[in-house]
Structure formats: structure tokens, C-alpha cells
Amino acid sequence: MGVMRLFQLILLISITFISACSGLIGTLETRSIETPSEGFITKMPKPIFSEETNPRGYVGDGWNGVQYLGFVYLLSGEDKIKHQSTVKFALENSPDMKVVSWYNKKNKTMGKVRVIESFPVSGATCRYYQVLIQKKNTARTAVYQACLEDWMGWVYNYGRYIGKKY
């Protein structure tokens, strides 16, 4: 009887873990971008668009390493702070389609953020935004969603963009 209970507990934990991770599907979907032989990318690339159905409006993740587009262990603490500050500045201040940038010439890194679309959801303001990070000659981009919740501040959805095509 004890073995059966242990099996049920392990099964329950496994199902919980799998269902929690299923929310991460598509979250690491980044696209590599060609970089100039010297210097930084000057023009923001076209956003990645998806035909997937991802219901608009549900968000709930806090800021995490997904925001760094696979560079989470390669960026310095200073670069991470600059990127997070730039994302939050763009979400709170930028009109749609305006690009906000950060640079660290010492580390040969830079990032860009562009809010693509803004819309209301259940009393919150939500925005789809595109991020780009370049470290030396490697660059990646992705599109995420964030909503400003009265009680939590900015919360994120790392699924893919399904909004208007530009």
C-alpha cells in the first residue's frame, strides 16, 4: 500500500511539473539575426509572427532569464540591468513601433526594445514587444507580451505574438 501511495505522489508531482512547464512552450523561440562585421545592428528586424493560437490576455510570469534570449549566462550583471531597465522603460513610456536601445561598448553588447501593439485586457494594459540583444557577432530577437496589473506591476507571457502583422 505504501508503494502505491509513493507512486501516486510521484505521478502527481510529475503531472504538476509537466503542466507548469507546458506554459513555457514557445518561450525560447528566438531567431538569430545577421550582424555587421563590425559594430552593432542599427535597424530593428521584422518581428517574428506565429500562426499559433495563443489566447490574448493571460500572463502571469515575473521577469526571468527568458528575457535575455539565450544570453542569460553570457551577459554581465550591468548588461542585464540595462536590458531590464530598457524593457520596462519601453513598456511604460514608448508609443507603439518606437525603438528604445541600450549599449555597452566595453562588453560589445547592445539591446533594442520595440513595443509592437498595445491593448486593454480586463482592466489591465497589455503590450506586445520585440526585444533584440547583440553580444559581439551574435544577435537574437523574440516577441513577448506584458500586462501592467494594478496589484503586481508588469507580468509577462513568453509565448509567441499572434497580433496584427506589420
Question: What residues does each domain of the chain span?
Answer: 2-157
- Rounded to two decimals, the pTM is 0.73
Is the per-residue pLDDT at 28 higher than 50?
no
The predicted structure's pLDDT at residue 158: 67
The predicted structure's pLDDT at residue 16: 52
CB 155 within 8 A of CB 59: yes
Q: Which residues contact 91 (CB under 8 A, 6 or more apart)?
A: 115, 127, 129, 146, 148, 154
Q: How confident is the model at residue 55 (pLDDT cuts 50, 70, 90)?
A: very low
Q: How confident is the model at residue 23 (pLDDT cuts 50, 70, 90)?
A: very low
The predicted structure's pLDDT at residue 9: 67
CB 128 within 8 A of CB 50: no
Q: How confident is the model at residue 12 (pLDDT cuts 50, 70, 90)?
A: low
Instruction: State the average pLDDT over residues 99-123.
Output: 92
Report CA-CA distances (Å) from 136 to 27, 108, 154.
24, 5, 30
More confident site: 129 or 166: 129
The predicted structure's pLDDT at residue 153: 86
